Amino acid sequence: MPNPDTTFDPRYNTVILDVDSTLCGLEGIDWLAAQRGAGAALEVARLTQRAMDGELTLDAVYGTRLAMIRPAAPEIASLALAYRRALAPGAAAAVARLVRHGVRVLLVSGGIREAILPIAAGLRLPPADVHAVSLRFDAGGAYAGFDAASPLATQDGKLLVVQSLALPRPTLAVGDGATDLAIRPAVDAFAALTGFVRRRAVAAAADFEVASFDQLVEAVLP
C-alpha cells in the first residue's frame, strides 16, 4: 500500500528559507554583539531592527555592525551552536518532509555562512544550497573582514541571488524581514513566517502568513 505521505505533489517545488528569526529564533549579528557587552548589543540590535523594518538599508549597516564587533573564528563556532539550540520548533521535521516530497529547500541569508553551514548540515541540506556572507580571518583566527562583494550584504541581495539561480517552479520564499520580502519579484509567492517576530509591514505585503513550520508544511503540501 502506498505511503499516504508521498502520494501527492507539492504546491511549491522550491522553498527558500531565511535563517535569522525564521529558521532559528535569534539574530546572529545581535548574538555576536552581546559578546561585546550591553552597549554594543543595544546599538547593533537597534541597527538590525531598523534594517529589518525597512527604515535603513542593509547596505548602510552591514559593514558597520561587523566592524563594531570584529567576531573571531571561535565566536563564529559558538554562534553555530547557538543557532542549533534556537532552531524553530518543528523545523527539522518540516524540512525533512518537504525534501522527502521532492521540494528543493534553500537557505538564503544575510547572516554568516560559516555559522549557518553546520545548521544546514544538520538538516541534510547541501552546502551549495546555502547562500550567506563569508567572513575572513587571519592565521590566528582574528576577524579580517567580510566578503564585501557578496550581494547578500545589500538590501536587494536576496533578490539578486534568487534571480541568479535556476530553481524549480513554483517557488515560495519564507522570511520575517524587509530583505526577505525583497525576493518577492523573483518568486511565485512570499510567506511571512511570524513564529519569532511579526513585522507589520512585511506581513501586510506577504501573500500569506504562517506562524509555525507545521503551518508552512500545510501551505506547501496539499
Residues marked active site are found at 18, 20
d(CA 56, CA 196): 21
53, 46, 31, 83: CA torsion to nearest 10: -10
> Distance between alpha carbon 1 and the CA centroid of its chain, in Å?
38
Let me know: does 220 contact 11? Beta carbons within 8 Å. yes
